[in-house]
Structure 1
Amino acid sequence: MISPDLSGAEFRKSTLSGPNNDCVEVATNLPGLIAVRDSKDPSGPVLTFSPATWNDFLTGIRTGEV
């Protein structure tokens, strides 16, 4: 499997996050790709999802399925 190029990823965390760094950060600016990482380890592993899969995940959270 080829790793996607994440060099242009602009990670952000929720404005609802507190001042600590115990959050996930999400990059949504990459074409056809959503990237998620741990804010405590910005140079660590990154999970990637298709936009459709990410939207399904968010819908599941909002509706209580996840």
Structure 2
Amino acid sequence: MSAPPRNVPASTDLHDVRWLRSSYSTGANNCVETARPRSGPWAGALAVRDSKSPAGPALLFSAGSWAGFLATL
């Protein structure tokens, strides 16, 4: 079995996702956005992109990795 992808070259390739911005984000558009793809090779991952570049790449994290990252913060 191959490893799941770790990134998406263009976050616009993630169809039918709803990008969410942090409630701590300011109007300066200097935050990250997250989405949970429900289908395709990215299903079950958490996608993260730069809000200043919505068509740019997105990093993909497993739910456990993302939870660990947030707990460390």
Give the TM-score taking structure 1 as reference length. Answer: 0.76
Q: Paired residue for 1:51?
A: 63
- The amino acid across from 1:24 in the alignment is V
Runs (4+) off by over 2 Å: 1-5, 28-31
Q: Paired residue for 2:49?
A: 37
Give the TM-score taking structure 2 as reference length. Answer: 0.70
- With CA pairs under 8 Å and 6+ residues apart, which has the higher RCO, 1 or 2? 2
Aligned pair count? 61
Stretches of structure 2 that go unaligned for 5 or more consecutive residues are none
Greater displacement, 6-15 / 40-49 = 6-15
- Aligned with 1:10: secondary structure? coil
Q: In structure 2, which of residues 17, 26, 35 is the aligned counterpart of residue 18 of structure 1?
A: 26
Cα displacement string for residues 11-43 of structure 1 (whole angstroms, at most 9, x for unaligned residues)? 111111111111110113644110000001000
Aligned-pair identity (%): 41
